[in-house]
Amino acid sequence: MPKYIFVGGGVMSGIGKGVATASIGRILKSKGFKVTAIKIDPYINVDAGTMNPVEHGEVFVTDDGVECDQDVGNYERFLDEDIYTDNYLTTGRVYQAVINRERNLGYNGRCVEVVPDIPNEVISIIKKAGKKVKAEFILIEIGGTVGEYQNMLFLEAARMLKLQHPKDVLFILVSYLPIPKLLGEMKTKPTQYAVRTLNSAGIQPDIILARSLIALDEPRKKKISNFCNVSIKDIISAPDIKSIYEIPINFEKENLGNRILKRFGLEPKKSDLKEWKGLVKNIKKPRKKVKIGIVGKYFETGKFTLMDSYISVIEAIKHAAYSLGAKHEIVWLSAEKYEKKPRSIVELKKFDGIIVPGGFGNRGVEGKIKTIEFCRKQKIPFLGLCLGMQLAVVEFARNVCGIKNAHSREFSKKCEPVIDVMPEQKVLLSEKKYGGTMRLGAYKCKIKPRTKSSGAYRSLNISERHRHRYELNNDYRGILEQNGLIMAGINPQKDLVEIIEIPNHPFFVATQFHPEFKSRPLKPHPLFKEFIEASLN
């Protein structure tokens, strides 16, 4: 019988529930257990593919092609395990499954009700996800905070599962303890209210992870323990720290792993976090610095800069930098600025390397093309990702091949479409079938020998994850190649160009796929590693 650990949030969102969930997973894995993690996103959207990244953060893509919440990326990175479709649930997805079954007479003519049929569906998806990978521990993170109308049915599922398997279900509350400047004291009251709200949903937390600016002291632990009805040993202090990768180690200092085992009536077990500790050591003692600019557009929200839209790109840069003993500095550069003030582009010279990441829509496109031209001519290491690759092709076609009117069909109907919509996508777009219909998930790619890519991967057969509707137009392949563009990676099934390179340049590689989704802290992605290495030189 697998063990289920639900993780919910109290007080406010954005306090690192996802990373906490992933860290618990890492700890249990380090004790020799098979672990998987599930994200519940209470939106009506069937998946994250239709959500604006500025609002919801990055859309992460799994091998089997589900467009999901960025926390799934955290799970994969911390667990170093692949995560699949059933590990991502939204309200929309659950309702869709129930309604489809109802239409097929799957409920044998009885009345189908929100309770218990929706929570039951949630439970059955959770069990299926666990079974697929034979998990001994299944972590289920419920998005948002307790008390929100949106996640009630998911809390109901947790309550019902515990009723069915009283010894196999645990509830962890990740809460926040503010220290108002005016008072200068850490306050526990919001957490007390969060626990009461959880109680009113029929759930008593077993463990509380207390997030705060600094570590919890004894009086605070006692207070929470008393008022929230949780053993003092199960109040885990989770102060802010510099690197998220330290979190599993910090949790283990508070003995979290064995507390979890104890609550399940299991014997304590030693955790092996040796490799993980090595990683943290590298993070803390960098020997050099690398400054990377990311030219994009999904990071401005009012007066704030949001990094969530490019989280996997950022993590991939970090993994590569750590493995090379370097400290990263990432600077956000607005593509639109280079359209409005073209001369400001010279600021790119200050960077060791430039990334143009993925994106959709017209805004900032010409600024990105200018960026790419500058990197090509000034020999600044450049990595293009998805849209970044498509625009690198446009730039090359315009400025090297002399096809002045070259563009991607996404942005211009009357251009020389060096990047064109894939035939099957044309039909989908005309029927407005946008959700979950891009070219998604893992596809094979054959690498050309003696290229930067073959050197990086040390293999000629790879598989990478995709999310796009447009592709390099094979009608222009000849002219692009004649002018020196290297088609360094090809999808063998459909003969699609997946990687391009420019020779006689320290590093100019761009990919139609998203390598960032497969980078892991202990296994940095080869292309990112090669890019950072070139940037360090």
Applying CB under 6 A, does 7 fall inside the site for ligand GLN?
no
CB of 418 to ligand GLN, least distance (A): 13
Closer CB to ligand GLN, residue 398 or residue 469? Answer: 469
The smaller minimum CB distance to ligand GLN, of residues 210 and 510, is found at 510
Residue with smaller CB distance to ligand GLN, 17 or 467: 467
Q: Which residues of 122-154 are buried (b: 16+ CB within 10 A; e: fewer)?
A: bbebbeebbeebebbbbbbbbbbbbbeeebbbb
Q: How far is CA 362 from the centre of its chain?
A: 24
Cα–Cα distance, 289 to 353 (Å, whole number): 12
- Of residues 365-424, those binding ligand GLN (CB under 6 A): 386-387, 410
Closer CB to ligand GLN, residue 26 or residue 468? 468
- Report the alpha-carbon distance of residue 522 to residue 520 in Å, rounded: 6
Q: In degrees rounded to 5, what are phi and psi of residue 489?
A: -145, 135
Of the listed pieces 2-10, 35-43, 174-182, 357-365, which binds ligand GLN according to CB under 6 A?
357-365
Nearest to 331 by CA among 365, 303, 355: 355
**Which amino acid is present at 393?**
V
Task: Assess 248 for contact with ligand GLN (CB under 6 A).
Answer: no
16 belongs to the binding site for ligand GLN (CB under 6 A)? no
Q: Which of 416, 514, 525, 530 is catalytic?
A: 514
Q: Does 359 bind ligand GLN (CB under 6 A)?
A: yes
Phi-psi bin for 441: left (phi > 0), alpha (psi -120 to 50), beta?
left
387 vs 510 by CB, closer to ligand GLN: 387
Q: Which residue is nearest to ligand GLN (CB)?
A: 358
CB-CB contact of 445 with 490 (8 Å): yes
Work out whether 315 is an interface residue with ligand GLN (CB under 6 A). Answer: no
Query: Is the preceding peptide bond at 116 cis, omega within 30 degrees of 0?
Result: yes
Residue 266's alpha-carbon distances to 61, 259, 469, in angstroms, are: 35, 10, 49
One residue of 223, 376, 467, 518 binding ligand GLN per CB under 6 A: 467
Kindly determine how many residues on this chain lie close enough to bind ligand GLN according to the rule CB under 6 A.
Answer: 10
Which residue, 166 or 423, has its beta carbon nearer to ligand GLN? 423
| Three-point CA angle 7, 11, 16, nearest 5° | 50
Considering Cα of 345, then 321, then 66, then 146, what sign does the dihedral take?
negative
Residue 441 interacts with ligand GLN (CB under 6 A): yes or no: no
Among 49, 178, 358, 417, binds ligand GLN (CB under 6 A): 358
Active site residue 386: yes
Pick the catalytic residue from 375, 386, 415, 445: 386
- The catalytically annotated residue of 141, 516, 530, 533 is 516
Does residue 95 belong to the site contacting ligand GLN (CB under 6 A)? no
Nearer to ligand GLN, 298 or 457 (CB): 298
Annotated catalytic residue 516: yes
Query: Is 364:336 a contact under the CB 8 Å cutoff?
Result: yes
Show contacts with ligand GLN in window 469-498 (CB under 6 A): 469-470
Strands 470-472 and 486-491, by their bridges, are unpaired
254 flagged as catalytic: no
Pairing of strands 3-9, 137-142: parallel
Strands (DSSP E) along 158-308, which ranges?
169-176, 207-212, 235-239, 288-296, 300-301, 304-305
Window contacting ligand GLN (CB under 6 A); options: 69-77, 161-169, 278-286, 355-363: 355-363
Q: Determine, following the binding rule CB under 6 A, whether residue 338 of this chain makes contact with ligand GLN.
A: no
Q: Please give the residue ranges that form the binding site for ligand GLN (CB under 6 A).
A: 358-360, 386-387, 410, 467-470
Catalytic residues: 386, 514, 516
